[in-house]
Structure 1
Amino acid sequence: MERNVNYVLIGGIFFAILIGLIVFILWFGRISFNEDKFRIYTITTSYDISGIAVKTPIKYKGITIGHIKHIGFDTTQLGVVKITLLIQRSIPIAKGSSVLIDSQGLAGLSYLALRQNPKGEIIVNDDDAVLTLDQSFLGKLSDKADSALEEMLGVLGSVEKLLSEKNVKHISSTLTSLDQFSQSLPALSSNINRALESINGELENGAGAMIAPTLYQTQKSLQNLDILLQKTSNLLDKFDDNPYPTIFGEKK
């Protein structure tokens, strides 16, 4: 009789420990038998979702209102993550609202913070239960840094091509030709002036009165050409001294 009592006692203790273990697992895993009190919301995003997982809590104004039910890839879109949320039906959520991955302190646990759309209508039907995932400040900063780095690399690549050995030789040859032309410019200008003086003398004698307007326009064009060539010569001198600021401008 005493042996039977010991078996019953051991069996009762075993079942009590087993029931306690099941209750602990359910409590620790935050499993709820009242899922009808929750509405299922979905999120599809291409952002990085590091820091969150299944059972990650969802908070609104610092109060926990639900948790993540499932995370996986969207089978209909390449590289897109689909997140399923369970949020209490008693919490009104507007259409167009979003969630943001946040954390408690610098090294705290991550959670999803709900951000209501103040201009949206309240979600009533389960078909409209769609939210968006906003990037955190660090995520936006990282994307901007990546974009800036890509643009900088593109500029450096263009500068490298511009200052390649082949282009430098070509620019040097062009500068030499322009320099030779600018040196011959005074002689050319002197010859033009002598020709114009000769024509003016003929015009004063009454010959060639019909071509006077054309000669005037020619003289004006030559003067403009003289000014343009002087500016070109100054620009070439600046480029020869320091090509980078001449092309890209002075840094402010």
Structure 2
Amino acid sequence: MENRAHALIAGLFVICFGAAALIVAHWFKGDSIEHDHYQVVSRESVTGLGVQASVYYRGVNIGKVNRIYFDPENMNQILIDIAIDGSIHLPSNIYAQLGYQGITGLAYLQLRNDTEHTKIPPKILPEDARIPMRPSLLDEVTGYGQNILNNVNELVIKLHQLLNDENQEQIANILQNIGKVTRGFDDIANNLQPGLESFTRLTTESTILVSHLDDLLNEINESMKKVNQQDGIIDSLTNSTQEIATTIPQLRKASTSLMRNSQSLNRILHQLEENPQMLLFGHTESLPGPGEAGFIAPPGNMQ
């Protein structure tokens, strides 16, 4: 009986110890939080990402990576199973990127919202949905670096083709011609120097001339002001014009009288020229002509 009692006690002790060990293990595991499961799909390399890697959303650790494997239906895709805190509701416009911890090379998943192409509030992402993976910043830089190297390689090849022997000779000729043209420009510049100096003097003289023209315009303006004043030159010219207009008829009459007197004087002078004794004896009556009463024919004409 005592052996059975000891065996029963030992069995109960083992059962209690095992239950306690399970409770302690579960407590240390800390996995009492409910999780939602999602699947990240990547077409790029996931170097540095391992199982139990952290999953961050807006900088907060919200889950872990459970599994990483190739898609059985499409070997170009990598599937990453993640477990997220069930209290976190992810939007439907979520996407994933790889992040790296310093220089260790260890990677983690960073979930981000695609806010650039969303104008309305997104819906809640259902559980077991697939989340697309986008290239990380390091992947983009690596891709850009590869493109730059390819472009540099193409540039070197083109430069090598450009700088062959024939093209080098042509470039040398072009440089020589450029040197000749440059020397020609120097000669032209030396020839233009006297002209530039003359142009400078001309500019100075033009400035002086413009100053004199300004003074002349000021004097003209002053003269115009004086001319336009009342009782000025214009008024005097107007009065003189009116007086001349009044005098012209009188001068016309005087000139007519003078013309008549001149004609009379011409007749008198003509008569004096024909009969000078008229100055002494005065005007004599003219003898009657043929056919007039008292006409006497000259003696030499009688028959």
TM-score by structure 2 length?
0.43
Aligned pair partner of 1:88 in 80, 85, 88: 85
Measured after TM superposition, the shift of residue 99 of structure 1 is 2.4
Q: Which amino acid aligns with 1:40?
A: H
1:5 and 1:238, CA in 2 relative to 1: closer, same or farther beyond 3 A?
Answer: farther
Question: SS state of the match for residue 51, structure 1?
Answer: coil
User: Once the two structures are superposed, what CA deviation does each residue of 1:11-66 show, in whole Å capped at 9, x if it has no partner?
Assistant: 956984797489649955x766x7xx433322222222122222222222443322
Distance in structure 2 (CA, Å) of the matches to 1:5 and 1:240: 114
The residue that corresponds to 1:73 in the other structure is 70
1:132 and 1:241, CA in 2 relative to 1: closer, same or farther beyond 3 A?
Answer: farther
> More deviation in 105-114 or 64-73?
105-114
Measured after TM superposition, the shift of residue 145 of structure 1 is 1.3
The residue that corresponds to 1:121 in the other structure is 122
Aligned pair partner of 2:45 in 48, 54, 58: 48
Q: Which amino acid aligns with 2:51?
A: V
1:4 and 1:156, CA in 2 relative to 1: closer, same or farther beyond 3 A?
Answer: farther
User: Once the two structures are superposed, what CA deviation does each residue of 1:77-110 show, in whole Å capped at 9, x if it has no partner?
Assistant: 3432121222234322222212233355555964
1:144 and 1:109, CA in 2 relative to 1: closer, same or farther beyond 3 A?
Answer: closer
Contact 1:58/1:64, CA 8 A, preserved across alignment? yes
Alignment pair present for 1:137 and 2:132: no
Aligned length: 173
The residue that corresponds to 1:220 in the other structure is none
Q: Which amino acid aligns with 1:100?
A: Q
Segments of structure 1 that go 5 or more residues without pairing to the other structure are 176-234, 243-252
Q: Which amino acid aligns with 2:72?
A: T
The residue that corresponds to 2:151 in the other structure is 151
Segments of structure 2 that go 5 or more residues without pairing to the other structure are 179-303
Alignment pair present for 1:111 and 2:108: yes
The residue that corresponds to 2:261 in the other structure is none
Q: Which amino acid aligns with 1:123?
A: I
- Percent of residue pairs identical: 21
User: Once the two structures are superposed, what CA deviation does each residue of 1:133-167 show, in whole Å capped at 9, x if it has no partner?
Assistant: 2333333222211211121112222333444xxx5
Q: Which amino acid aligns with 2:132?
A: T
Distance in structure 2 (CA, Å) of the matches to 1:125 and 1:97: 12
Q: Which amino acid aligns with 1:238?
A: I
Distance in structure 1 (CA, Å) of the matches to 2:27 and 2:5: 33
1:124 and 1:59, CA in 2 relative to 1: closer, same or farther beyond 3 A?
Answer: closer
1:141 and 1:55, CA in 2 relative to 1: closer, same or farther beyond 3 A?
Answer: same
Alignment pair present for 1:59 and 2:60: no
Distance in structure 1 (CA, Å) of the matches to 2:93 and 2:68: 21
Aligned pair partner of 1:237 in 170, 173, 187: 173
Distance in structure 2 (CA, Å) of the matches to 1:82 and 1:122: 23
Q: Which amino acid aligns with 1:144?
A: Y
Measured after TM superposition, the shift of residue 236 of structure 1 is 6.9
Measured after TM superposition, the shift of residue 74 of structure 1 is 1.9
1:14 and 1:156, CA in 2 relative to 1: closer, same or farther beyond 3 A?
Answer: farther
Question: SS state of the match for residue 122, structure 1?
Answer: coil
Contact 2:40/2:132, CA 8 A, preserved across alignment? yes
1:26 and 1:106, CA in 2 relative to 1: closer, same or farther beyond 3 A?
Answer: farther
1:210-225 equivalent positions in 2, closer than 5 A = none
